[in-house]
Amino acid sequence: MLNVYLSGEIHTDWREQIIEGARGLDITFSAPVTDHAASDDCGVEILGAEPNKYWHDHKGAMVNAIRTRKGISDADVVVVRFGEKYKQWNAAFDAGYAAALGKSLIILQQPDHDHALKEVDAAALAVTRTPGEVVRILRYVLSGAL
């Protein structure tokens, strides 16, 4: 059985594609909260409003970290997807965090980001371009079938 954590970009359905594609494989998937508004506001929603945006964000990021750290710590494989837009520093942070813990890292990104991601890719065991490639790797890792 494989634990796979799906980190990074939250604006497209790449997670669903991987999970759907991996149907039938003995994999438990986990992921951060992908509801953008909930993820941004969870801290102040639960723990009380903050007039200062910095602390507003901070409280949310801390609460989300409970889920994120659990997900990465329990994972055998961490897939990190970088999308076309946005800074996505949390994705790169997760990749570094996972690498330091010795997790097997799979990066999912487009070629135009290759140069900017070269240090991240250097810590990965596979750099993929499509969710389908991730699925094929997971299937091969579990079953040995190409």
Among all chains, which residue has been given the structure tokens 């102040």?
44
Question: Of the two residues 20 and 70, which places its CB atom closer to its own copies in the complex?
Answer: 70
Task: Give me the least distance between CB of 13 and its own copies, in Å please.
Answer: 16
Q: Minimum CB separation from its own copies for residue 104, in Å?
A: 4
Output the smallest distance, CB 134 to its own copies, in A: 9
What are the tokens at 22? 């991996």
Query: Do the Cβ atoms of 56 and 42 come closer than 8 Å?
Result: no
- Both tokens of residue 104? 């097997």
Q: Which of residues 83-142 bind its own copies (CB under 8 A)?
A: 86-102, 104, 106, 111, 113-129, 133, 136-137, 140-142
Kindly state the number of chain residues that form the binding site for its own copies, as judged by CB under 8 A: 79
Distance, CA of 44 to chain centre = 24
108 forms bridges with which residues in the sheet? 81, 128
Helix (H) or strand (E) holding 105: strand 104-108
By C-beta, is 29 or 58 nearer to its own copies? Answer: 58
Cα(91)–Cα(85) distance, rounded to whole angstroms? 12
Site for its own copies in 31-60 (CB under 8 A): 33-35, 38, 41-43, 45-48, 52-55, 57-60
Least distance (Å) between residue 67 CB and its own copies: 5
